């Protein structure tokens, strides 16, 4: 029998495209876990959360009104005592799972978390009527300091003498220090709000080196969960529980993330495209309330005076007639 070379080439090409599509699809499916949120924020069952909607979810949690709310997982039960800070830990997991206690949702990575942070900085920074701290920390930037206030996690499986084990263990110590330093820069003591993103990169090289089911990766997952619990507890203490803490495990290709960052850095955001409201200073709420209530008080005072004068009996209520002698004087 004869084999058609053209059909074979087409089948091989189709298999290649299918493999590439599967790789990209797998690489763009992560998860996000809400480790802590105040009681007036309820995260219920919902579908997949797109990364392009993550900034709307965070903004709504802080009391802002998003332009649209396509994701139905967040319910605000009370508008009072909303979070004054949002902390997101971005973990490049390489396929590993670091699911914590809390509400966990699948994350469709149709954009990078760096894009999410930059959009929040552009839009919320324009709309905010109070001081706002925007801080994005790449934790492995702290590794060059070699000075960690927190101790390096101990492990019988991972070794400080081998790579990428050493980088991972040192980054775990730096993660807690980076969170503590970010908390020290808080603006909430002066009535502000904080938005903090922490990025962890060292788990993905472990998965790539040893494999997803290897004992070293399993040990690394346990260590990372423990460090994330410390970060959550620290943020709850700094913000008196008025903080939203979330962990996002991303699987995007590094090339896509770098390309997005380079495009974002080379192009300025046009704020006119967002149809934003007029920007006011932080004194606007105080001035508005002073003018409003003073106007109401003056209006009520004028109204009360007018009614009193209209219903007054001059002979009984007027002090002028009281001080005048009503008796007629006789002429001698």
Q: Which candidate, 133, 100, 39, places its Cα nearest to that of 230? A: 100
pLDDT value of position 36: 93
Q: Which residues contact 109 (CB under 8 A, 6 or more apart)?
A: 27, 28, 29, 30, 51, 250, 251, 252
pLDDT value of position 226: 92
Whole-number Å distance between alpha carbons of 237 and 230? 11
Cβ atoms of residues 67 and 88 within 8 Å: no
pLDDT value of position 101: 86
pLDDT per position as a tens digit, 47-85: 899 988 999 999 999 988 877 777 888 999 988 889 999
- Model confidence at 18, in pLDDT bands (50, 70, 90)? low
Whole-number Å distance between alpha carbons of 107 and 73? 13
Q: How many residues in total does the chain contain?
A: 332
pTM greater than the 0.85 cutoff: no
pLDDT value of position 22: 46
pLDDT value of position 27: 41
Helix (H, G, I), strand (E, B) or coil at 69: coil
pLDDT value of position 84: 92
Which sign, positive or negative, has the C-alpha torsion 320, 325, 327, 329?
negative
| H/E element, 35 | strand 29-36
| H/E element, 250 | strand 243-250
Which of 202 and 3 is assigned the larger pLDDT? 202
pLDDT per position as a tens digit, 93-131: 888 888 788 889 989 888 889 999 999 888 887 777 788
Question: Would you give the end-to-end CA distance of the chain in angstroms?
Answer: 155
- Model confidence at 8, in pLDDT bands (50, 70, 90)? very low
pLDDT value of position 96: 84
Whole-number Å distance between alpha carbons of 199 and 95? 16
Given a cut of 80, whether residue 179 has pLDDT beyond it is yes
What Cα–Cα distance (Å) separates residue 255 from each residue in 27, 141, 167, 260, 262?
11, 19, 21, 9, 11
CB-based burial label for 177 (10 Å; 0-12, 13-18, 19+): middle
Place of tokens 């080439």: 9
Helix (H, G, I), strand (E, B) or coil at 195: strand
Instruction: Pinpoint the alpha helices (H) of the chain.
Output: 5-27, 51-61, 113-127, 165-184, 203-210, 215-238, 254-266, 284-310, 314-317, 319-322
Section 134-149 average pLDDT: 76
Cβ atoms of residues 108 and 27 within 8 Å: no
Whole-number Å distance between alpha carbons of 193 and 37? 15
Whole-number Å distance between alpha carbons of 92 and 171? 13
pLDDT per position as a tens digit, 215-269: 999 999 999 999 999 999 999 999 999 999 999 998 764 444 444 444 445 445 5
């Amino acid at each position: 029998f004869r084999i058609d070379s053209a059909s074979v080439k087409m089948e091989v090409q189709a298999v290649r495209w299918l493999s590439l599509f599967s790789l990209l699809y797998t690489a763009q499916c992560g998860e996000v876990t809400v480790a802590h949120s105040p009681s007036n924020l309820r995260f219920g069952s919902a579908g997949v959360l797109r990364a392009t909607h993550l900034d709307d979810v965070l903004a709504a949690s802080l009391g802002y009104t998003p332009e649209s709310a396509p994701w139905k997982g967040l319910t605000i039960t009370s508008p009072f005592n909303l979070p004054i800070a949002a902390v997101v830990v971005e973990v490049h997991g390489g396929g590993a799972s670091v699911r914590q206690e809390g509400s966990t949702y699948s994350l469709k990575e149709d954009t990078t978390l760096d894009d999410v942070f930059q959009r929040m900085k552009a839009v919320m920074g324009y709309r905010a009527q109070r001081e706002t701290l925007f801080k994005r920390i790449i934790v492995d930037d702290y590794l060059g300091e070699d000075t960690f206030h927190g101790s390096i996690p101990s492990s019988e499986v991972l070794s400080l003498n081998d790579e990428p084990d050493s980088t991972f263990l040192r980054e775990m110590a730096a993660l807690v220090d980076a969170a503590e330093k970010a908390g020290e820069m808080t603006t909430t003591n002066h009535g502000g709000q904080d938005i903090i993103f922490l990025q962890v990169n060292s788990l993905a090289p472990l998965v790539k080196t040893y494999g997803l089911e290897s004992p070293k990766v399993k040990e690394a997952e346990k260590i990372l969960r423990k460090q994330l619990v410390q970060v959550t507890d620290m943020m709850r203490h700094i913000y008196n529980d008025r903080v939203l803490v979330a962990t996002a495990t991303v699987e995007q290709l590094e090339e896509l993330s770098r390309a997005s960052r380079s495009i974002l850095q080379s192009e300025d955001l046009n704020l006119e495209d967002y149809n934003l409201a007029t920007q006011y200073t932080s004194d606007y709420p105080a001035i508005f309330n002073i003018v409003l209530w003073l106007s109401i008080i003056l209006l009520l005072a004028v109204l009360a005076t007018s009614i009193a004068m209209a219903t007054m009996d001059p002979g009984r209520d007027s002090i002028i007639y009281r001080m005048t002698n009503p008796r007629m004087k006789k002429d001698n």
